[in-house]
Chain A
């Protein structure tokens, strides 16, 4: 297993962030969304509907403690305590195991809502490429889902599949994208969809003298055409945006754009927080609806 290997090429940076433009939360309504995914977890805190703080970390061995760790890290240095948050929505794979959440909402609904905030109301098609799943979502101008499709059965087209390749080629995961774009001529995509077979194929290509860059290009390109087929099945309409960890991989993003002939909207936020952000937005709406929207710090 990769966890036992001496060098961990798959590892990405965990961090937290606080909005410097919001000096204080006291006197405002504070809501939160916690997205416990299979691979990564995020907590987003909003103050009166504005992004205030978030954390992004790797999911631990169980969902409840991952949720607690994520929210604590997001609250770090803000002076906030759990009781200051008027409403929390849990989402993601571990959504029913967020001990302090007031409600669980599916990640599909949260992603659409979060993307509507991140990219604006013109976004219609969303591709979320997560650690162990891939989602295609079509939504309306309010961020409400009109159709969706999710694939969490197969590692092809997921962050996990990319991690397998990063380990195989001993390339840090955050460098995969740029390396794959450094090839002079685009090679044919890896032909196997299955990650296991693609790995065998890649080993053969390396043996045949291909450079790491070329093999990565062939894999990123295969991943791109695979996810595009999911988008096309679900309905593809402009504007288009990509979220999730793989959205940070320029090698996959550029190739998706090339196949579709459409540029993805450029993110102003971390692409991994879309689900948690949507959760915090749902939390705000639900808090107002149920009149639980107490004002923090009073």
Chain B
């Protein structure tokens, strides 16, 4: 499943997408410490698989939390969370 966590508001679309099919096979969970904003956590989904998700209380402020990793100029090609995820399960919409 592709889980898109985030929102769209007047200023744009801010979604972190997690491919839970890739993610459920991962044991390292590099995303937990790899994100400076600590937005990820591991949960059991509705089919009892261990997958990463974006913390519920952070889902509405991704634009703000991720701002530090996304400067107006000189943005990294791969973000810290993407580097930390060994399964290449994380993508950002903006």
**A residues touching B (Cβ–Cβ < 8 Å)?**
105-106, 109, 145-154, 156, 192-194, 197, 226, 229-230, 233-234
Contacts and interface: CB of A to CB of B under 8 A. Distances in A.
Given A147-B1, A153-B60, A105 B9 contact: no
Given A149-B15, A152-B60, A197 B4 contact: no
B1 A146 contact: yes
The winner among B4, B15, B45, B93 for most chain A CB atoms within 10 A is B4
Contacts of A229: 8, 13
Interface string B59-76: 110000000000000000
Interface of B: 1-10, 13, 15, 45-46, 59-60, 93
A194 B8 contact: no
Given A153-B9, A194-B9, A197-B10, A106 B4 contact: no
23 contacts: A105-B46, A109-B46, A147-B2, A148-B2, A148-B4, A149-B4, A149-B15, A151-B7, A151-B8, A153-B6, A153-B7, A153-B60, A154-B8, A154-B10, A156-B9, A156-B10, A192-B10, A193-B9, A194-B9, A229-B8, A230-B8, A234-B2, A234-B4
A146 B45 CA distance: 13
B93 A154 contact: no
Contacts of A234: 2, 4
Given A145-B1, A147-B1, A147-B3, A233 B9 contact: no
Contacts of A146: 1-2
A161 to B, nearest CB: 12
A154 B4 contact: no
Nearest to B61: A153
A106 B4 CA distance: 14
A154 B93 CA distance: 17
A149 B5 CA distance: 6
B68 to A, nearest CB: 19
Nearest to B60: A153
A234 B8 CA distance: 12
Contacts of B59: 152-153
A194 B10 contact: yes
Contacts of A147: 1-4
A62 B70 CA distance: 39
Residue from A149, A154, A156 with most neighbouring chain B CB atoms (10 Å)? A149
Contacts of A230: 8
